[in-house]
Amino acid sequence: MKKNKLSMLLAMLLVLAMCVWTLSACGESGGDAEAPAEEPEAAEEAPDGYLNPEVKSDLSMADEVKAFYDKVDMDYGYELAYELAYDWENLAEANGWRSAGSDAEHATADYLMNEWKEIGLQNVDKLGSTCDKFQFNSSSLKIADSDVDFHGNDAKAVEAGTNGPASYQVNGTDGDLKAEIVDCGTGFEADYDGKDVKDKIAFVKVDQSNEAWIDVYMEQAHKAGAAAIVTWADSGYGEAGTFTTNVQDVCSGDLLPTVAVSADQAKKIQQAIKDGHTDCTLNVDAEMVDNGGTTYNVYGMIPGKNHDQKIIIAGHYDKYWYGFQDDCCAIALVATIAKAMVDSGYEPENDIYFIAHGAEEWGASDSQFDWTTGAWGVCEEHSDMTDGALALINCELPAVKMDKMNIVCVPEFRALTKTMFDSGLVITNGDTPYVTKPADATTMEDGITYRVHGVPYFLNGFEGTDFMSQCYHTIADNAETYDAECFQNNIDWYGAFAIYMDTEPALELNSAALANDLKKGFNEEYAKEAGVDTEGYLAAVEELKTAAKAHYDAAVALNKSYEEAVAAGEEETAAELRTQGAELNKRALEAFQLTQDKFFYDSDFTADYGQVQTFNNLSYIDGVLEGLDNGAAVWGENGDGIADYAYQLNCIHDYNYCNFSADIAERGIDMYTDAYYSSKDQAQWGYHHQNPVVHVGDVSAQIQRAETVEDIDVDAAKEAYNKARGELIDYLGKALAAEITYMGDVANALQ
């Protein structure tokens, strides 16, 4: 799983700010209430932690679901997860990793092929696709005349808590790198002032949740002339203990050897430097080959009676250290569902595919869209795997103890989630409460790749736990984190979901969600300023909603008729209804693909329909301009200072201007433009799905670093922000006018 690059606090501020302008702009039309026929709402939390302690359903697939539940083998699932996590001799590199295109990833692909065959899947094979290869073999860090002597390349070292230095996805050193190590504080631009780090090793404390992603720290050290960078953290991630080393994915290119050590190891390094011992030897045996690797996606299937449609259940098998939750348990979940279906004798109507993706954590250098590379290869290089796909059920971290369990999905599946929990098919084990109203999918896992290729999807919820800040991407992601109740619930839920979608002829994909989200996110004031026919836009929303409602109602009615025909033993009628359902499905999936092509926008982690990010940027620009006009504080006590608005631009990426060189921050902004990827002839999932960025770097840096308003060149700032504002208004007018046409296209596809 790929985690967002910004703190959850900052993300919450963004959401709160978005809510403020949304409600003020839309009034009641921006509320959450939606007509049940369009998009049924679910109870926030089920009473007593469950709705259906056993299958209580008269639906035609109830017996098949019961048989599936009876064959779920929890011991098998746990043992497979354990094997994938802990077999470092055969299925991992020396430090436990399984990286994009590595020997360990290839060995594990072969292992999983055999496993898929053993549990009875058919047509088992592996699909190779191109990736940037990364293989981390060994590492060591020594400081002369001190007790700093670390080795991060074997199981014994990891168990002893000396699990660093751990390499990021860049090339290592060419043998021993002997150089002075220099403490560069928090690695901000100011931390290098007055320090000579040319051809030396920069030692930096990082916080990748609250401050910046690793590549920004790397680029700052590289600009200062450092030969390598050694990082450590005690906040943001890896907070399970001072023994944990945390690493994330690198978005920049191959700049300089970069490793991480634990807080315990960092303390020893700090003491050595304090004592005057700075002669350091760093050795990192790591290889990154740009576009020079192959990652394998292992698949098997249960053939259906019809091969024109399919359902996909998937997870990824690359990992850091044990990776027990992320994502060994997910692969085990996929296999356990597959085994239970096979063992129960389930005969699907459509093909059901089970895929273990490679290279999810990372697989493309010099890109802000570096993750889910293996899945991208499936969709781009093997498009037959997604042709006719009714849904993806993606699995991530599925056995973490949850305060409340929940489901994540694309907006169009909100209604189906409610239907499933009301169906009587879904059973829930244990006493953990769960939320039946799903959360909207973001971009943090393989589902995003399938989504932009027209495949709607579900994901098990896993946010809102301490796991992410404590154990994620550390050795603390181990078997001790296993929660059997959560694991079984996810197996049961998604097995039932798959059987339901496979059995019912019509896919209950509700495009009214697009209309509702567009209306909810529409800022009429900015739209009018942009010269948009706002009445025409809102009328198009209503027309789309009408068409979507008609299609969704037809799907629901057809499924109801099918259930009645099956119950009455009317086989010919049921077969005809299945044929009609397939036609409805083609229209639904065509509309979904159009929706992703024309309305879907993303950043690092947000996933929106429409111009949400543009409206946000305009509101932040107006906040800056109003503050400059009124002489507001730089940082306000209530979050209403000039800088409070300035740093939130571009989905908070302008915050990099606060601490890092303006050219480095600006490069990060440029990496969210299509021109950047066009220049490299590199198409990835974020390409063509980005709102325009705002370029006000110099003044943004000045504002965020100012102590008082007197430190700001107000006239220059106003000029820059007004220019950016005008460009956004111009873009908005064209984009919203085009959306009116696109809404008609989606509506026509549904009819």
Domain covering 137-290 assigned CATH 3.30.499.10 in the classification: no
pLDDT digits (tens, 9 = 90+) for 686-722: 999 999 999 999 999 999 999 999 999 999 999 999 9
Q: Which fold has domain 99-133+291-503?
A: Aminopeptidase (3.40.630)
- 104 Cβ contact list (under 8 Å, min separation 6): 91, 92, 93, 97, 98, 135
pLDDT digits (tens, 9 = 90+) for 637-659: 999 999 999 999 999 999 999 99
Q: In the prediction, which pLDDT does 160 show?
A: 62
Position 158 confidence tier, pLDDT thresholds 50, 70, 90: low
Q: In the prediction, which pLDDT does 28 show?
A: 27
Helix (H) or strand (E) holding 576, with range, is helix 571-599
What stretches of 667-745 adopt beta strand conformation (E)? none
Assessment of whether the complete model's pTM goes beyond 0.85: yes
DSSP string, 455-468: --EEEE---SSTHH
Q: Tell me the C-alpha distance between 285 and 265, whole Å.
A: 20
- 58 Cβ contact list (under 8 Å, min separation 6): 424, 567
pLDDT digits (tens, 9 = 90+) for 51-105: 456 888 999 999 999 999 999 999 999 999 999 999 999 999 988 999 999 999 9
Question: Averaging pLDDT over each range in 47-51, 122-126, 628-632, which range is the top one?
Answer: 122-126
| pLDDT mean over 141-157 | 84
Q: 93 phi and psi, to 5 degrees? A: -75, 175
Dihedral sign, CA of 625, 626, 632, 638?
negative
Tokens of 70: 């009876």
Q: In the prediction, which pLDDT does 679 show?
A: 84
Q: Are 434 and 426 in contact (CB under 8 A)?
A: no
Computed over every residue of the chain, the mean pLDDT equals 91
CA Rg, the chain, in Å? Answer: 26
Cβ count within 10 A of residue 304: 17
Q: Tell me the C-alpha distance between 568 and 585, whole Å.
A: 25
Q: In the prediction, which pLDDT does 5 show?
A: 40
Q: In the prediction, which pLDDT does 34 show?
A: 38
Question: Averaging pLDDT over each range in 26-40, 230-244, 281-295, which range is the top one?
Answer: 281-295
Tokens of 321: 């250290």
Could you tell me what percent of the chain has a pLDDT over 70?
92
Q: 601 phi and psi, to 5 degrees? A: -130, 145
Q: Are 309 and 359 in contact (CB under 8 A)?
A: no
Max CA-CA distance within the chain? 87
Q: Are 729 and 618 in contact (CB under 8 A)?
A: yes
Q: What is the crossing angle of helices 484-503 and 62-71, to 10°? A: 150
Position 606 confidence tier, pLDDT thresholds 50, 70, 90: confident
Q: Tell me the C-alpha distance between 688 and 596, whole Å.
A: 10
Which residues partner with 316 through β-bridges?
A: 357
Which among 652, 685, 686, 646 is positioned nearest to 669, based on CA atoms?
Answer: 652
For the chain, what are the domain ranges? Answer: 99-133+291-503, 137-290, 533-751
Indicate whether 22 pLDDT > 60.
no
Indicate whether 2 pLDDT > 80.
no
Could you tell me what percent of the chain has a pLDDT over 90?
83
Q: 174 phi and psi, to 5 degrees? A: -90, 80
User: For the chain, how far is it from start to end, CA to CA, in angstroms?
Assistant: 37
Position 161 confidence tier, pLDDT thresholds 50, 70, 90: low
Q: In the prediction, which pLDDT does 433 show?
A: 85
Indicate whether 308 pLDDT > 50.
yes
Which among 622, 615, 630, 628 is positioned nearest to 703, based on CA atoms?
Answer: 628
| CA distances (Å), origin 674, targets 340, 369, 669, 680, 690 | 44, 12, 11, 10, 8
Position 157 confidence tier, pLDDT thresholds 50, 70, 90: low
What is the amino acid identity at position 211? E
Side-chain half-sphere exposure of 441, counting CA atoms within 13 A:
32
Q: In the prediction, which pLDDT does 53 show?
A: 61
Q: Tell me the C-alpha distance between 664 and 701, whole Å.
A: 11
The 8-class DSSP code of residue 323 comes to: -
Tokens of 81: 């997860």
pLDDT digits (tens, 9 = 90+) for 452-488: 999 999 999 987 788 999 999 999 999 999 999 999 9
- 722 Cβ contact list (under 8 Å, min separation 6): 625
Q: Tell me the C-alpha distance between 229 and 217, whole Å.
A: 9
Q: Tell me the C-alpha distance between 242 and 740, whole Å.
A: 54
pLDDT digits (tens, 9 = 90+) for 394-444: 999 999 999 889 999 999 999 999 999 999 999 888 888 888 889 999 999
| pLDDT mean over 368-394 | 94
pLDDT digits (tens, 9 = 90+) for 490-527: 999 999 999 999 999 999 999 999 999 999 999 999 99
Instruction: Compute the CA torsion angle 144, 147, 150, 154 (nearest 10 deg).
Output: 130
Q: Are 321 and 96 in contact (CB under 8 A)?
A: yes
Q: Tell me the C-alpha distance between 329 and 82, whole Å.
A: 8
Tokens of 627: 């503050």
